[in-house]
Amino acid sequence: MAAEIHIIGQIESAYGFGDNRVACRWSLHCGGGWRVIEGEVEGQTHTDLPESERWPRILVEVWNYDKYGRHSISGYGNCFVPSSPGEHKVECHCWRPKGNFREELTRSFIGGGLQLRSANILLDPIQSAQLRTVAAGTVEMRLGIITRHLDKFGILC
């Protein structure tokens, strides 16, 4: 028997990114003793918790697609999976890396812009705090959470 958290959810909207032609990539990252047992990147995911180190988080990347078919990053964000059972509306506030004057000017007129080498930097608060960023928008998600056996592992929600 293991502590479990089941996540059923969907991204409902993204706003504040300027252009309406955006797409959102998301991924579930399990720190410490969590691991994904089954499920797709869309739909229901089961996680096992042999020992609780860090609560699971969802990372999002929002991409802009222009009328010429080019794509560029519009924002990054992360939020914790709610710890209590039930349906939750989660807002994930996003940001993008801020460039120097020339890079920002180029981004405004030509597109593109700075990108993270890896979104995993979002999982490290020390590294991500050192980034120069600008607010980019918000992604709204509706998540259904089902928990099981958390109390047997000392996890109080």
Domains in the chain, number: 1
Question: How deeply is 77 buried, as exposed, middle or buried, from its count of CB atoms within 10 A (0-12, 13-18, 19+)?
Answer: buried
Q: In the sheet that 133-148 helps form, which strands lie side by side, from edge to edge?
A: 22-29, 57-65, 71-80, 86-97, 133-148, 3-15, 44-49, 35-38
What is the predicted pLDDT for the residue at 156?
62
**Phi, psi (rounded to 5 degrees) for 55:** -70, 145
**Residue 111's CATH number:** 2.60.40
What is the predicted pLDDT for the residue at 49?
36
What is the predicted pLDDT for the residue at 128?
86
Contact 26, 60 (CB under 8 A): yes
Domain that holds residue 59: 3-153
DSSP code per residue over 12-78: EEEESSSSS-EEEEEEEE--TT-EEEE--SSSEEEEEESS-SS--EEEEEEEEE-TTS-EEEEEEEE
pLDDT < 50 positions in the chain:
41-52
Structure tokens at 153: 């592992």
The three-class DSSP label of residue 126 is helix
What is the predicted pLDDT for the residue at 20?
65
What is the predicted pLDDT for the residue at 101?
94
Output the CA–CA distances (angstroms, integers) from residue 72 to 28, 61, 79, 80, in the order listed. 22, 10, 22, 25
Contact 19, 63 (CB under 8 A): no
